[in-house]
Amino acid sequence: MKVKKFILIIILFLSFLGIGSMLSNIQSNQADQLLEAYGLSNNTRYFKVQSKQTVGAFLRFLQKKYPKRKIQIHLASQHERNQTLIWSNHDVVTLPTENGRYFTRDDFKGKVSFAVLGQNARVKTLQVQNNQYVDLGNKYYTVIGTFKHYRQMKQNEYYLTTGPQQPTGRFKLQNYVIIIDSSVKISRQLAAHYGAKLKTPPFVKKHQNRKFSVVKEILLAIGLIIFAGSCNFFLALIDWETVKKTHLNGKLLLNWLVNRGIRIMLIELLLALAAYFFLCWRAFFSNTQHLLGLLLACWLLVSIAFTSSIFYLTRRSDPHA
């Protein structure tokens, strides 16, 4: 009996993990803050220019021409293949880091450039008194964070802030692919201003094609919920076998069933919370509150399944029911 219950409880835990993983897949594929795009949205476009102006001059132009429009710029280097410069005039999507943090709006305003690294960033770094720096030709940039390891992210890249007053703002614009996340209208205007051809990144096309392809994940999640409920039905059967062997009845039977039911529900609540913390550690969620709500809802449903099963078995065995 104990072995069977243990196996069913393990299966329930795996079901919770599976349900949470389905939500992770949905949020990874559908959220505007695409993980593949490092915080860029579905409006992202890109173009290349031959202008000899600096990155700082380009950003000053943006600030002057579009002072009230939200714009985020990623500048992918065409020579330093693993380097991307980032600038934004608003708070960017906070991306998950193994340690430290991702960039904030204030990081783009000052005179100092900061760095965030991929897990296996191909760039020279220097460790000084517990502080890490990116070393680019004896110019040093403080590392403020390292990304978590996710398959959607390129692990060998590194990211630097840029701004009109920052050292990276002196880099030449023609050495970078300009990736812009704003309204498509603004992207078209900028491309026309520089006489460039505006294009849609592959990750945006992929996202657009898969935007409504979440039926499989939803059906799998529903199937896992039903499967978890079935496990609780079998747990109820096991407890009922104990009742028949001990010949409990009346108040003793009621107290025993209540105690067993509360114990099972508490164990399963702990399993749901364990699944929540494990998934937050190992999977991507644009909103972890959705995960917590989903797992608690699943716990409630499987608890109802257990209670209903006990009630059904009790009524069936009562000749006066």
Same domain (yes/no): 155, 252: no
99 neighbors 123 (Cβ within 8 angstroms): no
Structural domain containing residue 108: 45-200
Type and span of the H or E element at 96: none
Distance CA 140, CA 127 (A): 11
CA atoms within 13 A on the CB side of 204: 15
Last residue of a domain, one of 167, 200, 233: 200
pLDDT at residue 246, rounded to an integer: 73
**Is residue 226 a part of any domain in this protein?**
yes
**Is residue 40 a part of any domain in this protein?**
no
**Is residue 313 a part of any domain in this protein?**
yes
**Is residue 239 a part of any domain in this protein?**
yes
pLDDT at residue 151, rounded to an integer: 59
Same domain (yes/no): 75, 193: yes
**Is residue 207 a part of any domain in this protein?**
no
The model's pLDDT over 42-77, given as tens digits with 9 standing for 90+, comes to: 788 999 999 889 999 999 999 999 999 999 999 999
The model's pLDDT over 109-122, given as tens digits with 9 standing for 90+, comes to: 999 999 999 888 88
> 126 or 313: whose pLDDT is higher?
126
The model's pLDDT over 122-140, given as tens digits with 9 standing for 90+, comes to: 898 888 888 899 999 889 9
**Average pLDDT, integer, range 173-184:** 94
Question: How many domains, in total, are found in the chain?
Answer: 2
Distance CA 226, CA 238 (A): 19
Same domain (yes/no): 227, 281: yes
Beta bridge partners of 143: 115
The model's pLDDT over 244-264, given as tens digits with 9 standing for 90+, comes to: 777 767 677 678 778 888 888
Same domain (yes/no): 186, 300: no
Residue 36 has pLDDT above 70, yes or no: no
Last residue of a domain, one of 168, 200, 232: 200
Residues 6+ apart with CB under 8 A from 180: 44, 45, 46, 47, 71, 72, 73, 186, 187, 190
Same domain (yes/no): 267, 290: yes
Same domain (yes/no): 61, 187: yes
**Is residue 39 a part of any domain in this protein?**
no
Last residue of a domain, one of 200, 228, 260: 200
